[in-house]
Structure 1
Amino acid sequence: MNNKLFFVINSLQRGGAERAISIVSNALYQQNFEVTIVCLNDADIAFAILPEVKVVSLLKKRKQENPLNRLWYAGLLYTRLIRLLMKEKPFYVVSFMTTSNLWTGLACLLTRIPFVVSEHTTPDITLNTFNYFFRKLSYHIYRKSTAVVVPSIGIAERIKQSNSFRKLNNFKLIRNPINEFPEPSDWKVNDKKFILGVGRLSFVKGFDILIEAYNNINNTGIDLVIAGDGAEYESLKIQIEKLNLTGRVKLVGSKDNLQDYYHQAELFVLPSRNEGYPVALTEAMSFGCACVAVNCDFGPSEIIENEFNGLLVEQNNIGKLSKAIDDLLLNHSLRKKISANAQLINEANSVKNIAGYWRGLLLNLP
């Protein structure tokens, strides 16, 4: 039996989809699949990959170039992907993220290899921004795939709001798995109690909103710690200085010991403007960290049942976000209940369960 399975993604740099593909690849290898991760672009690998899982990079990451060079790059990428598929002949190919989905779909249609595509971000910044030709091409590719896997129902619903995709009916819901962290250590990550935010420092992650909300809370004896790197570092630093929060709001960069931060935080806040499926939120919940999340598109409302396993706050309301943080800090019984219920996600989104869903999809199991 051919048990060769390919995953295709742009790279394995830090990100929710990249983490998910790493975890699922490792798990399916342990279930007797011969797994290869194909990266369209060469980049540093941010996640732990088993040595038995092959990682192949098709091209060095390209810089901004003129149109002719971009065409050359596209042709080279497509040719190398087709050659690899024809040589290895996997029984299935699974791609993550829009660009990878399109390249993979075109290559698999030509080589007649079954494939699955997976969308992990809001289509408002991907599929729904395409011109007429690329929307039609995307629809044709997605329709021919075995399934369009999404981690949240909201992504599928938003895709189908576009006239170009309204007839698409092969969506499959598979959540992102919980990362299996090492046991937390006793080393204190902050010298005071703290509220935690985790994620890439980008506009879409909304850490400027979190800093503003933190500035308005009544509890002045607690720090705000934000773990992550990104382009918004300087603007967030300026915001912190303008609000006289230096020393209380700490931008600590990306951390390899996030388990210690989740374990020690008084609460976790997700302030995102949009998500695909918020991995940091599920990670925090897995450690029993009480969570407050802005009810953005997509995922928080599918993960959190308000006042049961977390607090949901309407978007664009900094006042309500500040109040939710204050309420959870003051109401110890509510925080204790939310903390206990949050940990139920360890079962629902366990690696075993999520890998089982992927295995069932690929082997056409019920």
Structure 2
Amino acid sequence: MRRAVLVISSLGMGGAESVMAWLAAGLDSREVAVTILTFDHGDDVPYYPLPAGVVVRHLKLSGPSLSAVGGLLNNVRRCRVLRSAILTESPDVVVSFMEQTNVLTLLAVGGRCPVVVSERVHPMYPVGRPWAWLRRCIYGRAAALVVQTASIGREYGWLKTAQVKVIPNAAIPSGCKEPTVRFSGPAVVGMGRLHEQKGFDILLRAFAKVAMEFPQWKLVIFGDGPKKSELQELTTSLGLAHRVVFAGQTPTPHADLAQGDIFAFPSRFEGFPNALCEAMTIGMACVAADCPGGPADLIDDGRNGLLVPPGDVKALTETLGRLMADQPLRIRLGLQAGEVVERFSVERVMDQWEACLIEAVATNPGKRLKQCAE
């Protein structure tokens, strides 16, 4: 395997974008020539750093469609432009992230080159009926489907078992950066996109119920998203305006999280709990919703963290109170949490990705897109 093309809608801030940047850097370090194709217009620099050897090409394919017919025509155009761009690169393998991009990439390539697609969220995430139907029809053409947890892999039982590969995200050890947002005093910390999926409304309601008992504690939430105003209004209505900090996005998550005492992860569903993994990496005491898509793959309940039923305000309230009152318990859970660095080490996860891509090339001999251009 000498050349790889990676396809994603953009390289902005996000879990999928972070992993793609990490994968590109890992392949580059193993002497694979990497080109990333994005659908955006390239107005912003990539949020996550990339090695100098990784080429990024912005195909300028993003934008709204005003009607169903317009959407169909736009997607036909996207497939044509994407196919031409991939032909130009003549890769040994193509890797695509996220459901809509995956479908378009498989249609663009047309089976003439091995394509590895990766789902980065739980399939219960609404993608729209046309895309869900296309995914079910088209994914069989992929050389492999990469998911992040075994539980998500089981959701794709309609694919061949050998086609589904479980590759978690790597637990990247903390650097020595200074925090972007400073705070002091005991704190419960949350981090993630401010979206209904992430369940911060559940966390706010739970924190409100223990706030009076623990008046010295605050809640700090890192992230941004479409629910920010709604969550701020909920904070005010719960009487927590002076106890909750919405700290925004941060380029230094480890350093910012490390100031807290408890990490709360209230998601309704996940693809892989990246923020939870980051918190465990730095040895935080964590409580997480046992939602579809991953927390139970990281947390052994009672040993290296605590699990509560998803959406259960009462259970989260009780568990937060238990942790806030018991410093020795927080220390014990935090010490055990750090083991994820070894379980999900950068080298181990990169080896899994490389093996997956090599297998995709080996099982699709002779399929190189340059042949189509001849």
Q: How high is the TM-score relative to the length of structure 1? A: 0.91
Amino acid at match of 1:14: M
Amino acid at match of 1:283: E
Query: Deviation string for 1:28-61 (max 9, x for gaps)?
Result: 1001010111112235322111221111121253
Q: How far is 1:328 from its partner?
A: 1.6
Amino acid at match of 2:96: S
Deviates more, 1:201-210 or 1:186-195: 186-195
Structure 1 position 228 matched with structure 2 position 229 = no
Identity of aligned residues (%): 30
In the alignment, the residues of structure 2 paired with residue 181 and residue 298 of structure 1 have an alpha-carbon distance, to the nearest angstrom, of: 24
Tell whether the 8 Å contact from 1:24 to 1:351 is kept in structure 2 after alignment: no
Aligned counterpart, 1:147: 144
Aligned counterpart, 2:370: none
Aligned counterpart, 1:59: 60
Amino acid at match of 1:178: A
Amino acid at match of 2:41: D
Q: How many residues align?
A: 357
| Matched position secondary structure for 1:216 | helix
Query: Deviation string for 1:74-125 (max 9, x for gaps)?
Result: 1221111111122211000011110111111112225x11111111112123
Amino acid at match of 2:176: E
Amino acid at match of 2:143: T
Aligned counterpart, 2:369: none
In the alignment, the residues of structure 2 paired with residue 55 and residue 195 of structure 1 have an alpha-carbon distance, to the nearest angstrom, of: 38
Tell whether the 8 Å contact from 2:173 to 2:282 is kept in structure 1 after alignment: no
Query: Deviation string for 1:190-237 (max 9, x for gaps)?
Result: 132211000111111111110110111132211100011111111111
Tell whether the 8 Å contact from 1:3 to 1:34 is kept in structure 2 after alignment: yes
Tell whether the 8 Å contact from 1:59 to 1:77 is kept in structure 2 after alignment: no
Matches within 5 A, 1:234-273: 234-273=229-268
Q: How far is 1:332 from its partner?
A: 2.4
Matches within 5 A, 1:306-345: 306-345=301-340
Aligned counterpart, 1:159: 156
Aligned counterpart, 2:76: 75
Matches within 5 A, 1:1-366: 3-42=2-41, 44=44, 45-110=46-111, 112-126=112-126, 130-131=129-130, 137-160=134-157, 165=158, 169-179=162-172, 181-185=174-178, 189-217=182-210, 218-364=213-359
Tell whether the 8 Å contact from 1:7 to 1:93 is kept in structure 2 after alignment: yes
Query: Deviation string for 1:129-169 (max 9, x for gaps)?
Result: 535xx656433432222211100112122233xxxx36665
In the alignment, the residues of structure 1 paired with residue 282 and residue 348 of structure 2 have an alpha-carbon distance, to the nearest angstrom, of: 18
Q: Which runs of 5+ in 2 are unaligned?
A: 363-374
Q: How high is the TM-score relative to the length of structure 2? A: 0.89
In the alignment, the residues of structure 2 paired with residue 97 and residue 226 of structure 1 have an alpha-carbon distance, to the nearest angstrom, of: 26
Q: 1:186 to 1:203 in 2, by over 3 A?
A: closer
In the alignment, the residues of structure 2 paired with residue 135 and residue 315 of structure 1 have an alpha-carbon distance, to the nearest angstrom, of: 25
Q: Which runs of 5+ in 1 are unaligned?
A: none
In the alignment, the residues of structure 2 paired with residue 104 and residue 179 of structure 1 have an alpha-carbon distance, to the nearest angstrom, of: 29
In the alignment, the residues of structure 2 paired with residue 347 and residue 292 of structure 1 have an alpha-carbon distance, to the nearest angstrom, of: 20
Q: How far is 1:330 from its partner?
A: 2.1
In the alignment, the residues of structure 2 paired with residue 167 and residue 285 of structure 1 have an alpha-carbon distance, to the nearest angstrom, of: 34
Deviates more, 1:177-186 or 1:276-285: 177-186
Amino acid at match of 1:176: N
Tell whether the 8 Å contact from 1:263 to 1:287 is kept in structure 2 after alignment: yes
In the alignment, the residues of structure 1 paired with residue 120 and residue 61 of structure 2 have an alpha-carbon distance, to the nearest angstrom, of: 24
Q: How far is 1:67 from its partner?
A: 3.7
| Matched position secondary structure for 1:124 | coil
In the alignment, the residues of structure 2 paired with residue 155 and residue 275 of structure 1 have an alpha-carbon distance, to the nearest angstrom, of: 9
| Matched position secondary structure for 2:248 | coil
Amino acid at match of 1:292: V
Tell whether the 8 Å contact from 2:96 to 2:118 is kept in structure 1 after alignment: yes
Structure with more relative contact order (C-alpha pairs < 8 Å, separation 6 or more): 2
In the alignment, the residues of structure 2 paired with residue 260 and residue 194 of structure 1 have an alpha-carbon distance, to the nearest angstrom, of: 14
